[in-house]
Amino acid sequence: MTSKASKKTMKQINKSLILRNIYDCTGIDRASLAKLTSLSPATVTNLVGELIRDGLVKEKGVARSTGGRKPILLDVNPLRYLAVGMKIGVGYLDYTLFDLLGNAVTADRITVDGASPNEVVGRTIEVIEKWRGEHGDNILGIGVAVSGLVDTSRGVIRNSFLLGWKDVPMGEMLSQKCGTKTIVMNDADSFAFAQFLKGRAREYRSCVFITLGVGIGGALAVDGKLHTSSAGVGEFGHMAIARNGEICSCGSRGCLEAYISFDALANQVHQQTSSSELRKWFNQTKATETSEMEYLELALEKDPETVRVVFREMSINLGTAMKNLINIFAPEYLLVGGEALQFSKLFLNDAFDYARKNAFLGLADNVVFDVDELGEPAWSLGCAFRIIESELFSVKR
């Protein structure tokens, strides 16, 4: 019994190893797979045959021959399985259905106002059932990206200040109701992981990621791997930049988020503007990402000088935070993303310059400063790929 189980497990390990290498090395042939995995050519041929019959791998033409038969190239069949990426935002739920290569197949956004965890689960069930009806029963699972402290190993949202949630077992709730694998991640962590999959971050070993919007998030990569722990990923938005400063959503004072989040920027414009129209509009603005962005857009139209003053101060605060992160971690690569990039011309280059000029000695000289180009799908792509990794590249024992 033990021998049979061991052989079965070893076969699953080898099969997953081959699949992962085909995934990572698109257009690879069987002989190259054997060299890369140190498996025998016969084992590779047999297991590739199984993967083709399973519909996970397909043949995609031939390579140039160096003598003898031309080698047949292999690739993953991206539509064999799909994975759902879900972003729980302030005032909205974003859903994206990804193929195995991280391409968006379809997407949906649902506007919600102060939704409870049970309401989020209910809305998610509706989306999953609709997509199963449209695409078949080939959805591997659901990856959930959410702000705050997340225990990914247990699927628990420990504390999301922006949502007002504490100790929510979202992974278990969705797994039970939707009948599918669920992984829950901090949203900035998911965003950063997406940059390693499809962005320029994969060219670097040490990286810092900062996300700007209704909240301020961040993630860190060390030796080419995303830093995580049972305590969460860390909260860049809650580093102190002022002693006894503005009160933050977390209850502390002086946090970066209390100065450069959408809510903070809208409040600063409201306090400084002389426009009665903007003051009136501010009082009608809800504490959601969309409404605060709309207020800042209106303010830029009605009182551009005040907005420029507010964003100029934001550039110094953000630059200070970047300087701190560079001094502590000395990264090769620093990327900024998030919804606030809509206003990037007003602050981002100034923030980069401030960080370069004020970082310790030459620590910032070789840092590559970059801006997210993946856009909205990046938030949920990372956690969706964690589902793909778990279900296709990990061996169930």
Q: Are residues 138 and 36 in the same domain?
A: no
pLDDT of residue 307: 97
* Total domains present in the chain: 3
Angle, to 10 degrees, between the axis of helix 348-358 and the axis of helix 304-329? 40
Q: Position 175: which residue type?
A: S
Which band of pLDDT confidence, cut at 50, 70 and 90, is reported for residue 325?
very high
Give the structural domain span for 254.
202-371
Q: Are residues 177 and 284 in the same domain?
A: no
Q: Which of 76, 103, 135 is the last residue of a domain?
A: 76
Buried b (16+ CB within 10 A) or exposed e, 331-357: bbbbbbbbbbbebeebbbebbbebbbe
Q: Are residues 147 and 187 in the same domain?
A: yes
Q: Are residues 387 and 360 in the same domain?
A: no
* Average confidence (pLDDT) over 167-191: 95
Q: Are residues 295 and 238 in the same domain?
A: yes
* Average confidence (pLDDT) over 219-238: 80
Residue where the block lists tokens 């310059």: 353
Which band of pLDDT confidence, cut at 50, 70 and 90, is reported for residue 113?
confident
Q: Are residues 231 and 333 in the same domain?
A: yes
Which band of pLDDT confidence, cut at 50, 70 and 90, is reported for residue 227?
confident
Q: Are residues 327 and 179 in the same domain?
A: no
Q: Under a CB-based contact definition with an 8 Å cutoff, are residues 183 and 152 in contact?
A: yes
Name the H helices within 141-186. Answer: 170-178
Between the alpha carbon of residue 255 and those of residues 94, 181, 290, the distances in Å are: 27, 36, 23
pLDDT of residue 338: 94
pLDDT of residue 232: 57
Query: Is residue 206 pLDDT above 70, yes or no?
Result: yes
* Average confidence (pLDDT) over 15-21: 94
* Average confidence (pLDDT) over 137-160: 93
pLDDT of residue 46: 95
Among the listed residues 179, 170, 171, 166, the one whose alpha carbon sits nearest the alpha carbon of residue 118: 170
Q: Are residues 336 and 207 in the same domain?
A: yes
Which band of pLDDT confidence, cut at 50, 70 and 90, is reported for residue 62?
confident
pLDDT of residue 1: 46
Question: From edge to edge, which strands make up the β-sheet containing 156-160?
Answer: 149-151, 156-160, 165-168
pTM as predicted: 0.89
Q: CATH number of the domain at 307, please.
A: 3.30.420.40
Angle (CA) 339 342 348, round 5° = 95
Q: Are residues 22 and 157 in the same domain?
A: no
The answer for residues whose C-beta is within 8 angstroms of residue 66's C-beta and 6 or more apart is none
Q: CATH number of the domain at 41, please.
A: 1.10.10.10
Strand partners, 12: none
Task: Give the integer Cα–Cα distance in Å for 245 and 208.
Answer: 25
Among the listed residues 368, 378, 304, 367, the one whose alpha carbon sits nearest the alpha carbon of residue 341: 378
Q: Which of 33, 60, 76 is the last residue of a domain?
A: 76
Q: Which of 76, 95, 122 is the last residue of a domain?
A: 76
> Which of the two residues, 227 and 257, has the higher pLDDT score?
257
DSSP annotation string for 83-123: EEEEEE-SSEEEEEEE-TTS-EEEEEEEE-SS--HHHHHHH
Pairing outcome for strands 333-337 and 368-371 = parallel
Q: Are residues 350 and 214 in the same domain?
A: yes
Q: Are residues 209 and 331 in the same domain?
A: yes
Q: Are residues 365 and 225 in the same domain?
A: yes
